Structure 1
Amino acid sequence: MDIANGAVSKMEALERDNASKKDEIQDLRKEIESLRREAEELESEVNAAEEAGSEAAALSSVLEDQERTLVFLERETKTLKQLNAECEMKVRDLERRIGVLEVRKSEEQSKRVRVEEEMREKVGEKEKQIETLKQRIKDLEEGKAVERIGNGERGNEEEKKGLGFMWPLVAAGGAAVVAVFYFCFRKLR
């Protein structure tokens, strides 16, 4: 029985050893499963990190583009500010020139008004002279007509001589008046 006892105890030892090996295998399987899960997690983290890295690279290129655009816009802003300053200077210069022209225009207008007033006064004087001459002619004609009736044809020759002297004066005065009117009204146009 010793042999049977020895065989049974070997069997029991083998069963115990088998049970412990099964427990070890189970523990190893759990550990392998845990390691697989960790590896998958690590792989997904690596993928996420790679995606984040590619996103970071894309964002970096976008950032570089925006920085270039910003530098360009800053230069453009500086240029536009300079142009704006130049335009403001030109506007001020033009406003000054317009002011000078307005002053000149008002001076010319007041000068024109003064000249017109002087011309009106001269025209008035010439009209008075013309009226005076017309009256003298009328008086002379009336006087000559009375003499002609009394003297006959001899009075007619004197009339021609007397009026011959007066008509150039009347014509010259009339021409002066016409010239003054033309000068005044030409300036008004």
Structure 2
Amino acid sequence: MFAIVSTLVICAMIGGVFVSLSFNEGFGDLFADDESDRENYVDPNEDIIAAQETIVANNPADLEDLLLLANLLGNSNRLVDAIPLYERALELSPADINARVSFARALADGGMQADAELQFQRALEMEPESQPAHYYLAELYMAWEPVRLDDALVHYRRAAEIDPGTLIGERSQTQLDTLHGGTPAPAGSTPAVATP
């Protein structure tokens, strides 16, 4: 059973189809009327996370398994648990662009915008043609308050130019087409300061 779950999780990650359910985003707070329901709720990812924690404990130097666990935790609103795993993955392989972009995305999803921006920028310093880094940095700028539209447009354009035939290239172009008539961000929009 353990091997089957592990194989399915890894195959799903490789295939790019791993999905984490976030009920609050899609359906609102399902437990607003009855607090006891919240106490009895079981995260559907917990069994997978537990299995992956065992795999990582048995082979802590395996970068793929470590990143998978970090992603699972990050996607389950357990960013505090995921951050040290991402940091360890980057210690094992500092030049791994995918690890750095995954870390940046988790930070962005956790509302740590300045830290996410820093990780995306580091990824782009190492690999200026990283289409995912450009795209997700643009998405981060669109989520910024206030929106950093000019910065976002720069990275959407670059992501679309790198390879217009990929899903990210197409999404970037769609964003560019949608935002074409948008109002530029006010002059002097500045990035936030990352936490040390």
TM over 0.5: no
Structure with greater helix percent: 1
- Structure number with larger C-alpha Rg: 1
Identify the TM-score tier after normalising by the shorter chain. under 0.3
> TM-score scaled to structure 1, two decimals?
0.20
> TM-score scaled to structure 2, two decimals?
0.19
